[in-house]
Amino acid sequence: MVWEPLNLTEVCPAYTQITACSYFGYIFLDLVIRLYGDAKDRRIQERLNLREDDQDETVEDLYNYEHEDQREEYDFIVVGAGSAGCVVAKRLSAIEEWKVLLLEVGPEQPDVTLVPGLSTALLGSNIDWNYKTEPNGRSCLARSNQQCAWPRGKTMGGSSSINSMSYIRGNKLDYDDWAAAGNDGWSYEDVLPYFKKSENNLNVEGLNRKYHGVNGEQYVSRYPYIDDPSIMLTEAFHEGGLPIRDYNAAEQVGTMQAQSVVKDGVRVSANNAFIQPIRYKRKNLTVRPNSEVIRILVDDDKRAYGVSYIRNGKLKKAYAKKEVIVSGGSINSPKLLMLSGIGPREHLEDLYIDVVQDLPVGENLHDHVTFNGYIIALPNKTNTMVSQQEILDSTYEYSQQKCKTNPLSGNGAVNSISFLKSLPDIPAPDVQFQMDTAVWEEFIEEPEVVDSIAIFPTAYYTGILPRTMNIVPKSRGKIILNSTNPYGPPLIYANYFGDARDFLPLIRGVRFLLSLENTIAFRSRGAYFVKEPLKACADFEWGSDDYTVCLAKSFTSSPYHPVGTCKMGPASDKTAVVDPRLKVYGIEGLRVIDASIMPVVIRGNTNAPSLMIGERGVAFVLEDWIDKSHHLEDE
């Protein structure tokens, strides 16, 4: 099997009473493995009688790679098959005379990733990097070791294969501000065509051709299964004053059931959209999962000419005639650059890494900060909980449906997303609301355990855990290599609430959130906020600003939107790592194309912008390497 879930024996505390750690949790995960633990690409390769290209290599074969006539050479090497990397690899391989190598450290994308209702079961599994932040004394205080989990995808498709699938672009102002800071070509007017290029919008939004595309590879639609509590939330936010609005168009303040990267109740990751349809057809595209790049090769003239990587326990080298493109994401891209001698001089010298280029790699790390702890309880007539047997039955039923319409074809209340200006005079939203689901009776007793072991389908719950999210954070952190093992997980200093002003949008957002209890939408269904303080914040009055701050400090969490560690900026910006065409300063033949280049995080989820960055970035590559009069027709 390709997929391995988190090990309940290791993660379940001895004292816990939550259902996920009972015998039923083991039975459920065993069923999921049996139904969805394999991978489509593995089955295709078996059918085509393909095998991993280097399983039977000898020492002599490895030696021969050093000889020019045997060496592994490509025009472009793309490191990382996530949201941006998959886009880049497809567009480059559309040029038949170019050889393209796509390297991904994780395995083939397992079938379990395709089931929307099992999205949280992916966290902590073998396709999650399982990163954690370093303590700072101001956040994650009730989490184990005062560390917040930072899931990142470690499989074909990257984080687009394990995230909550929401398709949200951010605000027009975000991109205009990037351009105003000197990043030519990145205004909203500049990037909108690249959002549309990838998009294949299947809902009514697709009729608005000014803002949406319908011919791209990335399917965008709503889930076929949307439950009543989800509708309740949209109705309540609307009653509270937010318009029903397509917030991927002209205006962002509003509420709706957000669109997702799904088609007919099935996740469509960047791998599904861009790589799988061409992988076995384009002979000039080589895709290698299970391949960990550990160094970018740079010659004495400061030109990137290849990479070193480990595959099947063997060290390999691949050479690039034109460019190496790093698309590892906001954690792994800076890690790779620093391992290659590209980063802060003092830090690299401390680790005895030869400095190739002194750049502020790993700095400017930031993420939307959110938390949970407020609970919306749903009475029996409103909640969606079913028996354990029905959970097993629906999990099996989804695998048998040709037309996916059962509860696992949705994602619970997760896509009940809203954007709010918490002050009337600010130019754009500063708060986003997104939802988690849980058995609230278990959560209130063991919030940390319930959060970290969310293995059951998101469709079945007795309570909603709203996440109030600060989408304009001022705090900045950094990523550095771990001195005890530079090749292992880097040290992530998220520095949540390093700037105390980051509490203010959360406080104001919660005030708005709590007012929704008085809406007709809530009252007609009997929904209510559980006004019993969590133990970690029992010294404060429930619902007060002080209680909100306590929850934010104690139950801090990431919505998984880290950016900024390979910051884009003009040459005059000494905090920049890449220029506006995404070329690494001081190194020829090397670009970074992923969310790490964002100078400032956008107001919203980062998957759709990462796809756009892939499109925008590869357009620069094509402009640089193809005569502008040449007509490029992508397959």
φ and ψ at residue 361, rounded to 5 degrees: -65, 135
Q: Single out the residue of 167, 164, 228 nearest to residue 199, CA to CA.
A: 167
Distance, in Å, from the CA atom of 616 to the CA atom of 626, rounded to the nearest integer, reads: 15
Q: Looking up tokens 């280049």, which residue turns up?
A: 597
Instruction: Please give the distance of CA 38 from its chain centroid, rounded to a whole number.
Output: 22
Each residue of 456-480: b (16+ CB within 10 Å) or e? bbbbbbbbbbbbbbbbbbebbbbbb
What one-character DSSP code corresponds to residue 234? H
Distance, in Å, from the CA atom of 291 to the CA atom of 209, rounded to the nearest integer, reads: 40
Tokens of 75: 């025009």
Q: Specify whether 561 is catalytic.
A: yes
For 509, the enclosing helix (H) or strand (E) is: helix 503-515
**Hey, which bits of 29-80 come out as E strands?**
73-79
CA dihedral angle for residue 21, residue 23, residue 29, residue 33, rounded to 10 degrees: 150
Cα 168-171-177 angle, rounded to 5 deg: 135
Tokens of 377: 């309880």
Q: Output the DSSP codes for 355-407.
A: PSEE--TT-SBB--BEE----EE--TTT-----HHHHHHHHHHHHH-SS--SG
In the set 238, 366, 368, 561, the catalytic residue is 561
The length of the chain is 635
Tokens of 536: 């970690």
Which active-site residues does the annotation give?
561
